[in-house]
């Protein structure tokens, strides 16, 4: 799982790698941190377990509770990367997600599935407190393929999430009222407990508290030209994903949005 955000970027990019289960690869060589260096448990510590000598964690969901964790700091710009092994087999109704006032937020939600069916990843973007920008794609075998792009159109009066620091939050919880096929598929508690695993935690960015703004500096690798926009190859792959694997796009949902949202009227590659 990965997202990139910096103060010179024209786009926010979501990229994924899925090979049997969902994983993420680093874009640069860096030593992954131990969980306790950058993260803390936020709820139900009895359901979160350190494994592999603290290099990985196990999240558990049963009928008593789910659990969650968060970064110790918030960040204005940079990169977040970690490897995730989703709940295997029949996980309908379970959900891994990143989750209050006026906020900026980049939201990933991995929706549970029935055995043999693909996982669905839902992304959403909040800017200046407004969300409702959901897109969903079925996971597939990919490597460094962008599945969601949100371009900066502030010049057109469209909010862009760059001013507020963001923390990293992740949870495993029950959401069978809507998570799988709109709530038609319920959790099969006979298969509980459900487990998800996280490892290779990497955060590179501008933490707060500290200066209210992070000065632009091209020595920050994430502010280089390679991360300002998609490459021609990434653009081609992004269009391929939208054509072959996107199963929902709020921009085309006329029942929710009779008037097309303003960001949907402008080019997104």
Give catalytic residue positions.
105, 109
Report which DSSP code applies to 145. Answer: E
Please write down the long-range contacts of 176-183, taking CB distance under 8 Å and 24 or more positions apart: 176/92, 176/93, 176/94, 176/112, 179/92, 179/93, 179/94, 179/95, 179/109, 179/111, 179/112, 180/92, 180/93, 180/111, 180/112, 180/113, 180/114, 181/92
With the CA atoms of 244, 99, 196 and 133 taken in that order, what torsion angle do they form, in degrees rounded to the nearest 10? -10
Contact call for residues 91 and 112 (beta carbons, < 8 A): yes
Give the closest residue to 137 by CA, choosing from 18, 231, 20.
18
How far is Cα 9 from Cα 160, in angstroms, rounded to an integer? 11
**Residues facing 12 on adjacent strands:** 150
How far is Cα 11 from Cα 268, in angstroms, rounded to an integer? 9
How far is Cα 247 from Cα 206, in angstroms, rounded to an integer? 35
Cα 14 to Cα 11, 19, 122, 154, 175, distances in angstroms: 10, 17, 11, 20, 23
Q: Are strands 48-51 and 56-61 parallel, antiparallel or unpaired?
A: antiparallel
């Amino acid at each position: 799982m990965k997202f990139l955000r910096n103060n010179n970027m024209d786009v926010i990019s979501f990229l994924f790698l899925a090979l049997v289960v969902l994983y993420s690869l680093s874009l640069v060589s860096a030593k992954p941190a131990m969980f306790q260096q950058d993260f803390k448990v936020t709820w139900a510590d009895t359901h979160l377990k350190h494994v592999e000598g603290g290099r990985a964690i196990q999240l558990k969901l049963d009928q008593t509770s789910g659990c969650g964790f968060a970064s110790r700091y918030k960040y204005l710009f940079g990169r977040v990367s970690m490897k995730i092994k989703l709940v295997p087999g029949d996980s309908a109704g379970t959900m891994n997600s990143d989750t209050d006032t006026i906020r900026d937020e980049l939201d990933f939600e991995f929706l549970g599935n029935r055995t043999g069916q693909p996982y669905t990843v839902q992304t959403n973007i909040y800017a200046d407190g407004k969300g409702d920008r959901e897109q969903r794609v079925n996971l597939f075998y990919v490597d460094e393929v962008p599945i969601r792009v949100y371009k900066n159109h502030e010049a057109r009066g469209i909010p862009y999430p760059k001013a507020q620091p963001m923390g990293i939050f992740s949870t495993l919880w029950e959401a069978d009222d809507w998570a799988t096929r709109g709530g038609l598929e319920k959790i099969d508690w006979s298969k509980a407990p459900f487990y998800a695993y996280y490892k290779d935690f990497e955060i590179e960015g501008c933490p707060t508290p500290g200066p209210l703004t992070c000065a632009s500096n091209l020595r920050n690798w994430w502010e280089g030209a390679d991360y300002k926009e998609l490459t021609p190859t990434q653009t081609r792959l992004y269009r391929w994903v939208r054509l072959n694997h996107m199963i929902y796009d709020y921009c085309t949902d006329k029942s929710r949005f009779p008037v097309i949202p303003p960001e949907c009227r402008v080019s997104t590659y």
